[in-house]
Amino acid sequence: MLLMDNDVIAAVLTTKDCIAVQERAFAGVLTGASVSRPRLDTFVPCEREDGYYRFGSIEGATDGVYAVRLKSDIMTWPKQPDGSWSEKKYCIRPDTYCGLVLLFSTANGEPLAILNDGHLQHMRVGAAAGIGARLLSRPDSRRVGLIGSGGMARTLLEAFVEVRKIEEVRVFSRNPANCTRFAGEMSDRLGVRIEAVASAREAVRGADILATATDSMLPVVEAEWLEPGMHVVGIGPLDLAPGCEARIDVVVRQGIEAFDMPETGQFRRDLGHSRSAFVGGSPQEQKRLPPVVRKQRPGKSWPLYGDVIAERAKGRTTPAQITQYRAVGNWGLQFAACGGLAYREAKARGLGRQLPTDWFLQSIKN
């Protein structure tokens, strides 16, 4: 059993490899070689009177590896004097987090590894956005408009540079200092001209690829900002204003996003950034939760990634179309693909901490 922290994972994973391994895993859904279930969250009251505890899990399997991703978060939804509203999380105290990925062998059931999920999370999302950009953005895309300047924004940009000849990036975030630092660091790393701009509107204007990676509970992109030929990827589930849906010509879903269940009893949809959740607590305690904000709904005309690569559905067909890749769904499959890759690489290089497998086995039948 191998214990792998974020430093080990960062040392063994590359954006290029994460794109390739996820493309193979997604293609495996067509044959049954890969499988994934949607994310499911559970909310119960916590010790904070303005927050809630959320446990989240996703699962998936590919290439002989089964992955279970677990998150343990204290959630809050603070509103700021400037009108911004976001979803925040932590474990125990602000700026610490608990996310784990457990890997098992589908050959014999052996527990293989326990991984921190932080760097892996950023890598799998960034690489998925790269897959979508390669599938749907115009081949001559050169300019990126980016809203957000955190870790997720970094891997998004790395992936875009991997699949397209990006020459210019305009980035905006609510934290000007972070935005300026991001522009300088990523420009040096990628060799691309990156400008920190003063507004989201300025970042979007003229972009060939528009990407958002925020924790906002309010839209950061308005429908009238979208331009012909643009490719859009919104990592934050509420980043795009409701009117954007009508402006987008082609939408491709990465995978199944939510459970198709009636909203009865304790089951809820669209609670904060969660698509599917079970909610505990008294009616009074549930007043701490944010109001439901409906997200984009997959329609019959929204094919899956597998449908497009199997030529059962079309992607972009003209340069003027506005396209969107919904980099949600197949989450567990992503962790199986990228986590499995990280495990194999770390094992080959002798990285990580070995734990006795016997610690995780027992003689009592469960």
pLDDT for the residue 71: 98
pLDDT for the residue 197: 98
30 and 86 part of one domain: yes
pLDDT for the residue 297: 56
pLDDT score of 37 more than 90: yes
Does a structural domain hold residue 93?
yes
105 and 159 part of one domain: no
Helix or strand or coil: residue 24?
helix
| Block residue for tokens 């590894």 | 113
252 token code pair: 């491709």
> pLDDT tens across 86-143, in order?
999 999 999 999 999 999 999 999 999 999 999 999 999 999 999 999 999 999 999 9
321 and 339 part of one domain: no
Show the domain range for 15.
2-120+331-360
Element holding 326 (H helix, E strand):
strand 323-326
Amino acid at 156: L
Q: What is the mean pLDDT of residues 226-247?
A: 94
pLDDT for the residue 344: 98
First to last CA, the chain: 20
What's the CA gap between 336 and 101, in Å, rounded? 9
Element holding 344 (H helix, E strand):
helix 331-349
Does a structural domain hold residue 218?
yes
Banded pLDDT at 294 (limits 50, 70, 90): low
> pLDDT tens across 295-324, in order?
555 555 689 999 999 999 999 999 999 999
What's the CA gap between 261 and 119, in Å, rounded? 32
339 and 313 part of one domain: no
161 and 224 part of one domain: yes
Does a structural domain hold residue 274?
no
pLDDT score of 5 more than 60: yes
pLDDT score of 9 more than 80: yes
Helix or strand or coil: residue 37?
strand
CATH number of the structural domain spanning residue 28? 3.30.1780.10
218 and 348 part of one domain: no
6 and 52 part of one domain: yes
Banded pLDDT at 11 (limits 50, 70, 90): very high
pLDDT for the residue 296: 57
154 and 208 part of one domain: yes
pLDDT for the residue 260: 82
CATH number of the structural domain spanning residue 165? 3.40.50.720
Does a structural domain hold residue 283?
no
243 and 310 part of one domain: yes
Q: What is the mean pLDDT of the chain?
A: 95
Query: What is the number of other CB atoms lying within 10 angstroms of the CB of residue 1?
Result: 19
What's the CA gap between 332 and 40, in Å, rounded? 11
299 and 346 part of one domain: no
Banded pLDDT at 189 (limits 50, 70, 90): very high
Banded pLDDT at 261 (limits 50, 70, 90): confident
pLDDT score of 288 more than 70: yes
pLDDT for the residue 295: 59
> pLDDT tens across 149-158, in order?
999 999 999 9
Banded pLDDT at 199 (limits 50, 70, 90): very high
Q: Tell me the pTM.
A: 0.94
235 and 348 part of one domain: no
Does a structural domain hold residue 130?
no
pLDDT for the residue 100: 98
79 and 159 part of one domain: no
pLDDT for the residue 257: 86
Does a structural domain hold residue 145?
yes
Contact 85, 78 (CB under 8 A): yes
pLDDT score of 262 more than 80: yes
Say how many domains are in the chain. Answer: 2
Does a structural domain hold residue 131?
no
Amino acid at 328: V
Report the percentage of the chain scoring pLDDT > 90. Answer: 89
Least confident interval from 33-37, 46-50, 146-150, 256-260 = 256-260
126 token code pair: 């960034």
Amino acid at 171: V
Does a structural domain hold residue 133?
no
Looking at residue 268, the DSSP 8-state letter turns out to be: E
